[in-house]
Structure 1
Amino acid sequence: MRVPLYIAKRYAFSKSKSKAISVITKIASVGIVVSAMAMFIVMSVFGGLRSFSLSFTHEMDPDLKLFPTEGKYLKVSDDQLQKISDTELFDGVAKVVEDRVLFLFKEKQLVAHVKGVDANYSSVSPMEQNLLYGHWLDVNSDEAVVGVAISYQLSMGLFDTENSFQAYAIKPGKGAIENPQNAFIRKHLTPVGVYTLRNDELDNKYVYTSLNVAQELLSIDSTQYTNLEFAVKPEISENKAVEAIQNVFGDSVVVKNRVQLNDGLYRMLNTENVVVYLIVTLVVIIALFTIIGAMIMIILEKQNNMKTLSNLGMSLKQIRRVFLAQGLIISFSGGVVGVILGAIVVFLQKKYCLLMIQGDMPYPVSLSFFNLVLVLVTIFTLGFLASWMAASRVNSKYLE
């Protein structure tokens, strides 16, 4: 392969006698550079969007979340919590009560999720860092922290003593309701903070309260919770942590990690990535058609050279390897240059925020080594196929 490769390099980097062929080869090379650059930038943009979308799950969801297999509420004893603490596998374990209730403020109303949390919640979730204004709630009070979209819908301000912020939940029981006034449990809350995750759905979803307030509102006792949330220590494997939880609580619970909690979102993002990859690959394939045309033109131009090489003892197979190697050199060189230019564009966007989605939010991009390898492998594979198709045109008639 050394001799064919040496000749291929001479052909690839030397000027053609025909000006038209030189122009066609340059156009083909530029097409590969541009398509590789576009492919890397598009994959980096969607990688950034994927990371941006998943960042919300890191803000809202814990490392592990425990649910009851049956019923709505989970009964947890102090002994079970102590056993979990004794494993020393977790940075924090938070008790949570969550359900949909009705909220009223200034004659405006909406249905949202009340989420009652205890003092350990800050160790499993960084929600306090997402406060837009105000402060985090005191878990021994009737204070509440609401999403920014909820505050807008209810025209709610903080520390408003003149207007009452109320939560309503239906009383559990059986039989017909004789007096609607007695059908609900009502709690008065004091809004002290507003959070934002820059996501309309999540900013319109939760009202955080203390655990006791949520339990009273939903008429459950102090040992019942909708779920437990766990922060696993960085050096501990997820499987080991899940096994420890199952040993304490048995088969009456289900443990889900962050991916399982958002399996629909992950499936959607993975599907989007595959579709985008296939679309940009189609663009590369179209660009590589110019390589086939350019290689066929070069083969026609080098017909006399092929006769000379044949007379010097090269076989037809070796001559085909010359043009195969030449096509690979052009394809791979264009791919490398395109990826370098694409990486420069992505780096500039990441560092200097050249393109903004809105105000202070730059368009997210991800400078990934995986994307770099993926683009180069794609270009090399498709370039090999295009070069092989062109080189296979060489037959014995060219050597006569």
Structure 2
Amino acid sequence: MNFPFYIAKRYLLSKKSHNAINVISAISVCGVALATIALICTLSVFNGFHDMVATLFTAFDPEIKITSVRGKVFDGNDNKILSISKLPEVETYSASLEENVMAQYKDRQIMVTLKGVEDNFEKLNSIDSILVGRGKFIVHDTLANYVVPGVEIISALNSGIRFLDPLTIYAPKRGEKINMANPASSFNSDDLYSSGLAFAVNQSKYDSSYMLTSIDFVRRLYGYNNEVSSIELKLKNPEDIDEVKDKIKSIIGPDYNVLDRYEQQADTFRIMKIEKLLSYVFLTFILMIACFNVIGSLSMLIIDKKKDVITLRNLGADDKSIIKIFLFEGSLITLVGATVGVILGVTLCIIQQEFGIISLGDSNSLGSFVVDAYPVSMHVTDVVLVFFTVLIIGIACVWYPVRYFGKRILQ
């Protein structure tokens, strides 16, 4: 066994001549362990929110979405675009057209995004899982066009899910300037009727902004022919999404974006990653402060073992070996703290994941949240990252003080 390491291990486990050193060493281990627990739990909570948001988006966003690089709309009858529907990997091919409109119900008005979809939109994703109300998902029939609004739009318009009067939609005429003398003449308008349904994604971006209706209705309202704003796909095997994306890109070329669900919500997930990174950085600074306890413990240990140092020198130990003893001592304190912290952090995350002990609010406000308790998702990479971060920072923090005090005591 390495001689400095052997002596350092004895110093860590043996009683010191002054009990205060034992106490400070225990406090040092606890400080490192608590910082490690905080890092693991915080990163796991961010992972939990990331996974939770991803599952919420899957109920509204398609597995693959194709949009134009230049302009808002493109020709949905383009041969390259139509050829995608014939790919053997594609299960559902559906076009959509989104435009901003003003919706009016009686004396209330609101600006919304009207999304026109095809009849097979229901097969594209699990829309049934987010629908509220009674009835079948339908956007048109031979008599009328129907609307499925977000639940917050219903509240803003005070219409109720099954409204009796039609919802009037106003859209500016394309290519025309606003007639200030008669502004109403610069807008097209048409009516939408209640389908008896609304959707609730539990994300304000959708629930307060989006309404679903027939794509033909939106085209007629804006004077479009075959234009679409996106092509949305469902795959037979979602696990092949990366390969299918590359295949589609090779077919349609660089004029189109081919986006998976995460890329469709790139801004949201980018913000979450930045928040996770900042939390990691701030907690690492707290870890550095906790390591000062290790420095204090080692400083007192060096003073306490001054007589032992003389004995070791008389037995033939050189100055380099003696300094290594205290470096190993600091490293062992950090290692023990990191190991205990990882074990306790993982245990706490498992308990939270299984039982949801820490809630997001009191019992009277739980209905305001998507989930009742903080979501947790542990990633092995995060646990490994935290463990080595603690070790590296702990060893780096004790290296200079040990060498400084060691040289002074060896003089």
TM more than 0.5: yes
1:306 aligns with 2:327: no
Once the two structures are TM-superposed, the CA of residue 81 in structure 1 deviates from its matched residue by 5.6
* Contact preservation (8 Å) 1:292, 1:390: yes
Give unmatched runs, 5+ long, in structure 2. none
Q: Which moved more, 1:133-142 or 1:316-325?
A: 133-142
Q: Which moved more, 1:35-44 or 1:76-85?
A: 76-85
The residue that corresponds to 1:115 in the other structure is 115
Secondary structure (helix, strand or coil) at the match of 1:138 reads coil
Secondary structure (helix, strand or coil) at the match of 1:392 reads helix
* Contact preservation (8 Å) 2:99, 2:113: yes
The residue that corresponds to 1:172 in the other structure is 174
Q: Give 1:1-400 correspondences, 5 Å limit.
A: 2-77=2-77, 80=80, 83-135=83-135, 137-141=137-141, 142-161=145-164, 163-172=165-174, 174=176, 177=179, 180=184, 183-221=187-225, 223-232=226-235, 233-238=237-242, 240-357=243-360, 358-359=365-366, 361=371, 362-395=373-406, 398-399=409-410
* Cα 1:5–1:123 shift into 2, 3 Å: farther
Post-superposition CA distance 1:346-378 (Å, at most 9, x none) = 222221122222415222222222221122111
* Contact preservation (8 Å) 2:32, 2:338: yes
Distance 1:47 1:396 in 2: 46
Distance 2:327 2:178 in 1: 83
Give unmatched runs, 5+ long, in structure 1. none
* Cα 1:131–1:319 shift into 2, 3 Å: same
CA RMSD of aligned residues (A): 2.5
Distance 1:47 1:370 in 2: 12
Secondary structure (helix, strand or coil) at the match of 1:116 reads strand
Once the two structures are TM-superposed, the CA of residue 139 in structure 1 deviates from its matched residue by 4.2
Once the two structures are TM-superposed, the CA of residue 66 in structure 1 deviates from its matched residue by 1.6
Distance 1:95 1:326 in 2: 66
Identity over aligned pairs, percent: 26
Secondary structure (helix, strand or coil) at the match of 2:240 reads coil
* Contact preservation (8 Å) 1:94, 1:121: yes
* Cα 1:315–1:343 shift into 2, 3 Å: same
Task: Please give the TM-score of this superposition, normalised by the length of structure 1.
Answer: 0.90
Read off the aligned partner of 1:157 and give its amino acid letter.
G
Distance 2:25 2:289 in 1: 15
Post-superposition CA distance 1:19-47 (Å, at most 9, x none) = 12112212212212222222222222233
* Contact preservation (8 Å) 2:188, 2:221: no
Secondary structure (helix, strand or coil) at the match of 2:114 reads strand
Distance 1:286 1:325 in 2: 20
Distance 1:82 1:184 in 2: 30
Distance 1:369 1:135 in 2: 45
Task: Please give the TM-score of this superposition, normalised by the length of structure 2.
Answer: 0.88
* Contact preservation (8 Å) 2:139, 2:148: no
Post-superposition CA distance 1:72-122 (Å, at most 9, x none) = 322122854652233223232221011111111132111101111113323
Post-superposition CA distance 1:121-166 (Å, at most 9, x none) = 23433332112333452244322211111011111223333x2222
